[in-house]
Each structure stands twice: as structure tokens, then as C-alpha cells.
Structure 1
Amino acid sequence: MSQSNSASSSSARCDILICNALVIDGSGTDPVAADVAVRDGRIVAVAAPGQLSGWQAGEVIDATGRVLAPGFIDVHTHDDTNVIRTPEMFPKLSQGVTTVVVGNCGISAAPVSLKGEPPDPMNLLGKSEAFHYPTFASYVAAVNAAQPSINVAALVGHTALRSNQMDRLDRAASDDEIAAMRGQLREALEHGALGLSTGLAYGNAINAPTEEVLALAEPLAEFGAMYATHLRSEFADILNAMDEAFRIGKHSRVPVVISHLKCAGVENWGRSSEVLKALEMAGKHQHVGCDCYPYTASSSTLDLKQVTSDYDIQVTWSEPHPEQGGKMLKQIAAEWQVDLHTAAGRLMPAGAVYHCMSDDDVNRILSHPATVVGSDGLPNDPLPHPRLWGAFPRVLGYYSREQKLFSLAVAVRKMTGLSALRFGLHERGFVREGYWADLVLFDADTIRDAASFTDPMQPAHGIDAVWVNGKLAYNGRDKKATGQRAGRFLARQAREAEAVQAFAEA
């Protein structure tokens, strides 16, 4: 803990003085009792309790019995259009999230020029009217004009680029098409994009050979950017898919983040040790990491390749049959007196929750030092997976407090400091002097997720307050947003030595 040189001065002033908090600073070190002062959106002092008593404060908050942590960073979201269309971002704000990373899984809102309705899975971001951003610069301007309640950082999606440049997506891109995609990627990187994402498991990207992605990713190193990927397979062929990801990262000379790492499918259960060993082996030669959401069910569009009777599949929406939303696929098939694949075909396009993972594998992946937390929530789903509203409190309440999978300090690091370093979010993710005052105050004894698969749109319990860039954005007493929207677009920053070390440690 450090102390401002002016901490003892009676002339020192701040906008907010948070006293007697148990500070978990995002580094993974043990909690300490401290007072924290905020001025002009930044943390200006962190000192032992009572040492800032001489400061003049616009507001004094007694945080006795509460934890003060950096605001949570959701590194894997599909909030691309929602940060503009619904800038209050209540599902994220109410669980302590102060920054989201959008543009994951190869799909992004920018740069996009649609020729009709968005192709699958870009339809997860909304209908065609939600896409207004032919350049990345126009998206940045729109985010800042919308003034969302949380900060926004963005990747550029490979499938989005393919959709812009190709007449059809069931083939490999030509050299000219790759060159055009690279041009759009460069424009995005010049305007602060974090890097490139792919979703090679999806039907509109699976026919892109590795060589296409290798060529597209080549400009990333010049900008100090990164590569994030929804693997080509999360099922039996996962190790080959991981090798492909590592090859792309090594070729382009940039860090690799494997999105929502999991062992999906009953035949894959129990392979998490093998999968994590592959991650560790790659980490000896290049910078690699992963994110994970704290549930044993995934959610995406309804995909015939994933339809099985081995586990439950819940339909969350269906364009031709909206009345079936919320039912299990096997129930729908029984009502229609058809098999599962026939029923799924009739429902598409549709969304689904797949209960496809084992607890042991999720526990092992979530607790690994290389793993940070991302919700992968789908905000446009009418019956969303509960991770949209509950992922971060679930890590703190269920996995840390109840299951004792890791300490509270380690849990916070996976959602704050390590995430900021991994994604190059400068002066975020830590309770440190000079850093931006993205903060969450919570009760470690009561924090928990309230969202469930049957009632998913429920704010978490135990969150007292959330500040974004020094402004109180969420009042936990009333479980309401305050209306102060101080979020902004966060452009990519050069990775500091500490960030490089974070990859090396993982």
C-alpha cells in the first residue's frame, strides 16, 4: 500500500473518500484495510485507515465490513451494439462490471457493411438495423456519443471482415479478399482495436483455412495487438484446434487468448488436465492465456452439429417458432413427434443453451493461473443464459466463498488486474494511485448471483456500489443505476513489462 505525499495535508481534497474498506487491489495479494481517495476520476491516495482524515472530501463513505476492489473487467462479451443501443448496461453494471471487451468469437459490430440480414452468428448482435459502422472509427465515435455507463474495448471479428468482402462464406477467401480484409483490420488497429478475433467453429468461418487467418493476422504485431479465438473445435478435436491457435499466434508474433476454454461434449469430459497441459507447453515458447465463464452450460445459436441426446439443450428463441422459447429441445421434438435434428432444423434460426460440460473440468480450468473470467453473455437473447447477469458474483460467491476453489484475492485478480494486463487496458484493473477509479464495493459474505436458467434477468446480491471513472454508476441499496454514465471507449495501449510478465506467469 502506498500513501500520497499530501495524505497528511489539511489542504488535500478529493471528490470521494472511501474509509475503512478491506481493499483487494487486483494483484492477488492479501486484502488490507485502507482508505481510498478519488479525485477527477482517478485514485489519488491509498493509505492506512485514518491517515487521510485531514482531507477535504465532497463525499465520505464508511466502508466498514465491505470489500473495495477494482471494477470487474468482462473480457468476453457480445455487447457490441448494446453499449450504444442500451447504454445503461444494467446487466453488467449491477454485477460490478466496469469494462467490457466486445468483438469476440469472430463477430463484431465494426467494421461492418451488411448486404442484408447479418449472417450467423453475427445475428447474436442484433438485426441489420443495429449495424451502422462501416469503419472502426465510426464505431468508436458512436460509443463515445452514446456515453455508456461502462467502458468499452473492442476486438475486430474475422467473420465480420469475411462478410464485408466475400460473396459467400462457405469457401476460403481469395488473396484479393484477404488483402481487403487486412486493410479494414489495419484501419481498426489504427483507431485502437485490441486485435483480431475468430470463431472458426461457426458455419460461416469454418471453411476459412488456417492459411487465411495466418495472412490476415500478420499486421497485428506492428500495432502490439493480440489474437483471441473461439477454437475450431471445443469437442474431440480440441488439441488440434489449440495447436492451430498457437500456430497463428506464433506466426503473427502476438499473444493468444483462447476464448471460453472448455471440454464440451460427454466424450470430452475429464480432458481438462490434458487441455491445460497443452496450454502450459505452448506457454513455454509464446504468450498464451484463456478466459472461462463459471457455468457448465454454454449458449449460442442452435447448431445442428451440437444437437445430441447426451445432455439437455434448452431453446432460448426461434424465429419461425417463437412460442417454443424456453422449452427443452427434447420436449419440442416429443410434441412434434420428430427426432431431435428434425426439430432443431424446424426451429432455426434459433438460440440454445447447451448443458455440455462437467463440474470437474470447469473447476480445473477456472482455477488455473492462466484463466481470466469472461461472461460470454448474450444480451439480445430473450431468455439469456444467466451468465449475462451473474457471472462475476458467481465466481466470488459460489466458487470462492462456498466451493473454496481459490481465495477471494485470487478470484478478484482473475476478474481485474490479470484481465487488464492480458488485454492491455492501461491504468485499469488495480486499486493504485494514479489509476482510473473503476471500483466496486461489495459484501464478501453475501455476494452471489441471483440469475438462474429459468429466471435469468436478476441482479446480483451483495453489490453495494459501482463507480466508473470516479462516478457512482450503481447504487446497490436500491439495486438501481444512478444515471451517471461515465464510460468511454478504451483504445489499445502498448503492453507494459508487467503485462508481458502476466502472460509469462500464466
Structure 2
Amino acid sequence: MNNLKFRLIIPLSFLLFLGQYTKAQDYDLIIRNGTVYNGLGDKPRIQDIGINQDKIVKLGDLTDKTAVTNIDANFKAVTPGFIDTHAHIENIRQLPTAESAMRQGVSLLIGGADGGGPDDFPSYVDKVSELKLGVNVGYQVGHNSVRERVLGTENRNPSEEELLQMQELVAQAMNHGAFGLSTGLTYVPGTYSETEEVIALAKVATKHGGFYSSHIRDESLGLIEAVSETIEIAEKADITVVLSHHKALGAGMWGASEKTLKMVDSANAAGLDVRLDQYPYTASSTGISALIPSWARAGGSDKFKDRLQDKKLRDSIEKGILYNIIHVRVGDELERLQFRKFDWKPELQGKTMVDWLEMENLEPTPANAVNLIIQAQKNGGAQMIYHVMHGEDVNRIMKHPKTMIASDGKLSQPGENHPHPRSYGSFPRVLGVYARDKKVLSLSEAIKKMTSMPADLLGLHNRGRIMEGCVADLVIFDPEKIKDMATFEEPHQYPLGIETVIINGQISLEGSELTGTTAGKLITSKNIKL
């Protein structure tokens, strides 16, 4: 019996000793010797950061303090984690680590962009909350998803009862933590909606304290009218609006950002709240269906094929496609149409429309491209990269004080399809190319546009900034070495220069390698204090 007591006392004493040793540490984690950018646009300061659990608890000189884990930042930049308010994360269940985002320094992704996302919002996000997430995730509710659930892809206005059903779906999503309502008014079926329908749904988001973001109805020849519509929605729904991935698309509209930004300024001067987001590239990405008149796609794929059998309708469809190629998108320069994802002809991924025409022994003319586009759509469609923007518009929009940085990227992994390089490089590209090299922004301004500004849009005032009491979502990077490596030719390349990513106080990427920690959370408008 005495021997048994002796054996029990020793382990207990050892545990007590370990407990005293752990308590003797001042912090769980200290980041030492960092050049700290607080995310508010202020000049950086050399500081240490003391972290306990998932919170920043002390800033200053912590030389005489101890921690369980210490990181020497060696005077490199320490910033809040980047917040991507416009991301395509439909495949989050397949890629819950979100490595392509984390390696850019992203700590929070907001899905449901461009009117997309789940049509059964509560059920979907509940399942996301059960995943072992690498980064934090939140959602908007998508107008297109809601409309399709009630009306399918019909080209008509909803009845009064159907509009009430749509409003109820938006309300359910907002009650379940959606941050706002998104639209994709250039996409089926959102393109069939009138402005008043969008206003009616946006008012539901307003009631719940949400915001409204929109892939506007037209980013090309109808750009001015589409921006005007968005401002009208801001006024009539009394809601904060975001012009998603703002751009002037097509050579005929290059320079139009001067006018659209003046419209934004005038709206804000009149007391509205109009903001923008942007990715740092001169190429967009969307389906090949963007080249096909929207009326021809009403009712789905079978209806589209039926219309092609009608000689007059087919003639109208072909003329519409030709018009869109020449006047809305690329003119005669078909090499500006690049295939990103093409299940029917995967050998064309990364190639251009010129390559396909040459494979078919056809002259590379817009007229010859029309029939190939119809074939592609009949066989499941394709995702394209459209090289149709001008660098001066990109610079001008980026400089605007209301512009945030957002990727519009899809979660990606090496070897899968041929993504737009924004999926791997958006945030490092702004920091390296546009801030350091081109001096379009200062480094402090660039960081603010990807941290506190999007956090404030979401109402997450304890994220997106480095302050005592804020959540410890942090990035350490080398301002001299940070560089996006992904290109349009070789997109599957992670950026350089990002050394450490901390999610909710946990080191998730260290020495440019993932640690295996999955500290991400589902963030909703209902748990914003977490």
C-alpha cells in the first residue's frame, strides 16, 4: 500500500511542477522585433506583440517577458491577416485548408460572391462549421441562388408571392449569419431581374444590418448605367453597396473608370455609402457564356439547344455572339480569349481561342469563333480568362480611397485546371508590384485596403487591425522579397516572401510551410465578437 502511494505522489508532483512552469510564462506567443503595420494606414512601428490564446494582449517592448513560443520577425513587416471579401470558395469542403489563400496571407474568406453560393444557406453553413478549416470563413447570401430556387432560370419577373418567398430566403440567411446580399446581374438568372426586385431583397439585408455587393449588370458598354443602378439601390434600400471587382471592360471603355469613380464620389458626398473592391490584374475570368446573349440561355441548356434549331433564333444568337466578341470583349484579338477550365476539351486549358481555331483548320477570325463558342456551350460550357482591361484603369481604381483588395479567386491546388493567377497571387501582387515596385500605393495604404477596410465593411472591429484586444490573425512577410509567382501561362505557383501566418493565435504557416494546424472558424454576423 505504501509503495502504491509513493508511485502516485511522484507523477502528481511532476504535474504540479509543469503547471507552475507553464504559468510562469507571460504569454503563449510573442512576436519580437516586428515592423508592425496596424492596418489603419498609420506608419509602422518597431514593436513586440504578446498573444494569449487567440487575442493580442500587449504591444510594445516585451524584452523582459517570456512566452511558450517566440517568433523573431527580424524587423520584417507584421500585419493583420488579409481579409478577402470576394472569394469563390464553393469547393471549401474539398479544400478546407484553403492553402492557396493562406499562402497569400489571407486569414478570412467571404464566399457567396456574384449572386452565387448555397440556396439552402442555413444547412450549408452549418456543415461548413464542422470542417477543419485552415482559415476563417464567412458568407453572403446570393441573389442568383435565391432566384433560381424560386423561379428556376425563367426570364420573367416574380409574382408577389414569389418575391415574398425570395425575401424570406434572404431573411433566413441573414438570421443565420450572412453578412449581406450579393448579386451577379450579368449572370443567369439574376440578369432577368428588374432593379425593383433587387431593391426589395436588399431592404431585407438592410433590416439585418448587412451590406450589398454586386457584379453589376454590365462592366463594358453599359458600365455607366450599371454603376448608376447600383447607386440607386444604395439609396432606395438605404444600404452600403460594394461595386465588385470594379473595372472598365473592353477597349471601347478603357478610361471610363474616371467617370465611374466620380460617380462614386458624388454618391458618397450625397450621404450614401458606396465602396469598391478590386483584384490587381488586367484580365477577368468568367464563363464562355458571357459571349452569348442572355435571352438565349433562359430556361437552361435544353432550351438553349432548342433555340439553336430555329433558323431565325440561331441567326440572332450568332449575331449577338459576334457583337459581343468584337464590341464588348476583344475585337479581332482572339488571343485575348484564354481557356481556364474546359471539361469537354481539357487539352485547350491554358490555350487561347486562336489555338482552337488553328486546331480546327479555321482562320482566326471572330466570325469563325462564333460556331466554336456555340459548340462549347452545348457541351457544358467553359471558364475563360478575358484579357480585356487597361493598366491605367487598374491603377486609378486601386488608388481610390474607397477601394478594397479582393481576389475574386477560386480555391485552387496545383495541377487542377488552369486558374486565373489571382487565385494564387492577388494580395502579394498588390504588396510587391503595386506598392513596392510601381508606387501606386504606399505599403501602409495597401495593407489598410486588405485589412481594416474589409473588416469594417463586415462589422468585424476586432479583426483587420493590430491592437490590444483584437483577434490574433497575423502575417509576417518580407517587403523586399514578397512576390506573386503565378502567371497566366503558369498559374500554379505559390507566392514568395510570406513567412508566417497566424490564424486565431495559432501558427498555421511557418517558414513558408504549413504546420498542419487548422485554427480557422466559421465567422458569421451573429458571432462577430469571437
With the shorter chain as reference, the TM-score category is 0.7 to 0.9
Q: Does 1:151 align with 2:180?
A: no
Q: Does 1:275 align with 2:260?
A: yes
Aligned residue for 2:191, secondary structure, equals coil
Give the one of 27, 31, 39 matched to 2:44: 31
The CA RMSD over aligned residues, in Å, is 1.8
Q: Does 1:320 align with 2:353?
A: no
Deviations 1:230-269 (A, max 9, x none): 0001012111111111111211111001100000000000
How much has 1:11 moved relative to structure 2? 6.1
Distance 1:167 1:56 in 2: 60
Aligned residue for 2:205, secondary structure, equals helix
Aligned residue runs from structure 1 range 190-209, under 5 A: 190-209=175-194
Deviations 1:457-505 (A, max 9, x none): 1111000100000011112x2x332110111111126999xxxxxxxxx
Distance 1:383 1:319 in 2: 11
Contact kept in structure 2, 1:224 and 1:495, CA below 8 Å: no
Q: Does 1:62 align with 2:72?
A: yes
Aligned residue runs from structure 1 range 390-429, under 5 A: 390-429=425-464
Name which one, 1 or 2, has greater alpha-carbon Rg: 2
Contact kept in structure 2, 1:11 and 1:55, CA below 8 Å: no
Give the one of 243, 255, 258 matched to 1:258: 243
Give the one of 273, 284, 287 matched to 1:298: 284
User: Are residues 93 and 495 of structure 1, via their aligned partners in 2, closer, same or farther at CA, if it must alter by over 3 Å?
Assistant: closer
Counterpart code for 1:201: T
Aligned residue for 2:463, secondary structure, equals coil
Aligned residue for 2:164, secondary structure, equals helix
Q: Counterpart in 2 of 1:465? A: 500
Distance 1:13 1:83 in 2: 37
Distance 1:146 1:426 in 2: 25
User: What's the % identity of the aligned pairs?
Assistant: 35
Counterpart code for 2:195: T
Distance 1:149 1:287 in 2: 33
How much has 1:172 moved relative to structure 2? 2.1
Contact kept in structure 2, 1:316 and 1:382, CA below 8 Å: yes
Contact kept in structure 1, 2:216 and 2:243, CA below 8 Å: yes
Q: Counterpart in 2 of 1:386? A: 421
Q: Counterpart in 2 of 1:41? A: 54
Distance 2:469 2:93 in 1: 29
Aligned residue runs from structure 1 range 121-132, under 5 A: none
Q: Counterpart in 2 of 1:180? A: 165
Contact kept in structure 1, 2:176 and 2:526, CA below 8 Å: no
Counterpart code for 1:347: A
Q: Counterpart in 2 of 1:329? A: 353
Distance 2:106 2:257 in 1: 28
Aligned residue for 2:130, secondary structure, equals helix
Q: Does 1:77 align with 2:112?
A: no
User: Are residues 418 and 25 of structure 1, via their aligned partners in 2, closer, same or farther at CA, if it must alter by over 3 Å?
Assistant: same
Q: Does 1:344 align with 2:376?
A: no
- The number of residues matched between the two structures is 457
Taking structure 2 as the reference length, the TM-score comes to 0.83
How much has 1:419 moved relative to structure 2? 1.2
Counterpart code for 1:327: K
Distance 1:283 1:493 in 2: 28
Unmatched 5+ residue regions in structure 2? 1-22, 293-323
Deviations 1:40-81 (A, max 9, x none): 11101111xxx32232300111111311000011111011x3
Deviations 1:297-356 (A, max 9, x none): 001111224534434110112233222222101221233227122222212210100001
Q: Counterpart in 1 of 2:195? A: 210
Aligned residue for 1:25, secondary structure, equals coil
Contact kept in structure 2, 1:12 and 1:54, CA below 8 Å: no
Contact kept in structure 1, 2:203 and 2:239, CA below 8 Å: no
Unmatched 5+ residue regions in structure 1? 1-9, 113-133, 497-506
Contact kept in structure 1, 2:25 and 2:68, CA below 8 Å: no
Contact kept in structure 2, 1:73 and 1:419, CA below 8 Å: yes
Q: Does 1:492 align with 2:525?
A: yes
Counterpart code for 1:370: K
Q: Does 1:483 align with 2:492?
A: no
Contact kept in structure 2, 1:72 and 1:416, CA below 8 Å: yes
Q: Counterpart in 2 of 1:238? A: 223
More helix by share: 2
Q: Counterpart in 1 of 2:325? A: 307
Contact kept in structure 2, 1:315 and 1:353, CA below 8 Å: yes
Distance 1:264 1:167 in 2: 29
User: Are residues 196 and 466 of structure 1, via their aligned partners in 2, closer, same or farther at CA, if it must alter by over 3 Å?
Assistant: same
Distance 2:460 2:354 in 1: 44
Contact kept in structure 2, 1:304 and 1:341, CA below 8 Å: no
